[in-house]
Chains A and B, each alone.
Chain A
């Protein structure tokens, strides 16, 4: 069964600084990896996904994520954080062997201070 770990409950960063939100995964076969963001009292918004190909995936709002197969990681990054990036970020994974559900991590709260 697939699983996702987001080791940090919260990440604090100053506005303008680079940010990283960590995610590691476990899955049978090749992984399909996703990042979603949830603002307070809102639904989840899709940021980006990795299917195959280039290990660096670019997504919405200036975010990108790097797929590392040897480390089974898919960390979310942004070169310069904005206060408006403060939200809850979820990593999710699906395997490619048969029909599998999308499994979410426990979420990481990002707090960007002015």
Chain B
């Protein structure tokens, strides 16, 4: 059973398009995250939700909008895609938002904007 799953795994699209990435976790966790990993493998947090409430919102363009319909799901919608959005996007989850909580990562969604 996959603990944290993401769809799609690969996404190739044209500049200017709008796309969504979905994330689901079956671990019973109440906190979920979106990370971006660039071409140099640098990993940075974008958003975090705790019990469907946004608790971290890093300096991310307004074109990125997360949505958490329930505690098990966190989706990421991206408007007007740009070349620089090409990256691997990882979803993660943890039980609680405490500093010591372990985050469990999904397999990633590889986004390529042409």
Contact = CB atoms under 8 A, between A and B. Distances in A.
Nearest to B110: A41
A72 interface: no
Contact of A101 (B41, B45, B104, B106): B45
Interface residues of A, number: 24
B90 A96 contact: no
Q: How large is the interface on B (under 10, 10 to 19, 20 to 34, 35 or more residues)?
A: 20 to 34
A88 B41 CA distance: 9
Given A99-B97, A101-B56, A46 B43 contact: no
Interface of A: 32, 34, 36, 38, 41-46, 49, 51, 88, 90, 94-96, 99-102, 104, 106-107
26 contacts: A36-B105, A38-B41, A41-B108, A43-B107, A43-B108, A44-B90, A44-B92, A45-B105, A46-B102, A46-B103, A46-B104, A49-B100, A49-B102, A88-B41, A94-B100, A96-B99, A99-B55, A99-B99, A100-B99, A102-B45, A104-B42, A106-B41, A106-B42, A107-B41, A107-B42, A107-B43
Contacts of A96: 99-100
Contact of B44 (A44, A95, A104, A107): A104
Contacts of B105: 36, 43-45
